């Protein structure tokens, strides 16, 4: 049994959720695909480790934001694909707005000095 995740998860989790939701906004992807896509859309800033990614995927699936389906991967193996549900799209919308608000506020705060 390992210790629970560190306390700083909250902020990171929020970020990770948003990134996953954005990554899936175009098409359903499997785990590795999501991780590559996040790397791509953040221009390599975020490299999501599987130890964070998969727990988040399962949690979000249970929250009803993602729906799983089994499909063929590019190397012809059975892989679990995730797609956004309607609730997931709404969540993506809400979290995007929230982040925009925060980043604007932070940007303003940084400029104020």
Partner 1 sequence: MQNLSYFARLWRNLARRKDVEQELDQEMSAYLSLLADESSPREANLESGGIHQLKEQVREAKAGFFMQTLLQDVRYGWRMLRRSPTFTIVAILALTLGIGATTTIFSIVYGVLLRPLPYPDADRVAFIFDHFSPQNAEHGTMSIADYLDLEKGNHAFETIELFRQSLFDVTGAKDPEQVQGAYVTAGVFAMLRVQPMMGRTFLTGEDAANAPGVAVISETWWRHALGADPNILGRKVNLNGVPTTVVGVMPASFGFPRPSYQVWANVRLKPPTFRGPFGMHGLGRLKPGVTFAQAQLDTNAVAHRIELENPKTYHRMTMPVVPLRDGLVGNIRAALFAFLGAVFLLLGIAAVNVACLLLARATAREKEIALRVSLGAASGRLIRQLLTESLLLSVLGGGAGCVLAYAGIAALRAWNPGNFPRIDEVRLDGMALGFALLISLLTGLLFGLAPAFQTGRDKLASSLREGGRGGTAHAGRRRLQSALVMGELALALILVTSAGLLVRSFVLLGQVNSGAQAPPENVLSMKISPIPSTYRNSDQIIPFYQRVLERVKAVPGVTYAAISDSLPPDRQNDYDTFVIQGQQFAPGETNPAVTCPIVSPDYFRALGVPLVRGRFFTDHDVENAPPVVIISESMARRYFPNDNPLGHRLKASGPDLNGSPYMEIVGVVGGVRYTGLDDQPADAYYQPYAQTMYYQRTNLVVRSAGPAISLANSLRSAIREIDKDTVISDVNTMEEALGASVVGPRFRTLLLGGFAFCALVLAAIGIYGVIAYSVAQRTQEIGIRMALGAHRSNVIRQVVIEGLRLALAGTALGIAGAFLATRLLASLLYSVKATDPVTFAIGPLILIAVALVASFLPACRAAMVDPMIALRHE
Query: Could you say which of 4, 8, 11, 108 contacts partner 1 (CB under 8 A)?
Result: 4
Query: Could you say which of 79, 89, 95, 96 contacts partner 1 (CB under 8 A)?
Result: 79
The yes or no reply on residue 109 touching partner 1 (CB under 8 A) is no
Backbone phi, psi, residue 8, to 5°: -70, 0
For 67, which DSSP code?
A: E
**Cβ neighbours around 17 below 10 Å, total:** 18
The yes or no reply on residue 2 touching partner 1 (CB under 8 A) is yes
Integer angstrom CA distances of residue 107 from 2, 28, 42: 38, 33, 18
Query: Could you say which of 6, 10, 44, 77 contacts partner 1 (CB under 8 A)?
Result: 77
The yes or no reply on residue 94 touching partner 1 (CB under 8 A) is no
């Amino acid at each position: 049994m390992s210790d629970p995740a560190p306390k700083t998860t909250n902020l990171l989790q929020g970020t990770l959720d948003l990134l996953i939701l954005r990554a899936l906004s175009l098409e359903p992807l499997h785990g590795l695909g999501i991780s590559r896509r996040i790397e791509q859309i953040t221009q390599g800033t975020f490299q999501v480790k599987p130890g964070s990614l998969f727990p988040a995927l399962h949690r979000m699936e249970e929250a009803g934001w993602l729906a799983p389906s089994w499909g063929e991967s590019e190397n012809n193996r059975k892989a679990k694909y995730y797609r956004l549900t309607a609730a997931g799209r709404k969540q993506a919308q809400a979290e995007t707005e929230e982040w925009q608000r925060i980043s604007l506020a932070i940007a303003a705060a940084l400029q104020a000095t």
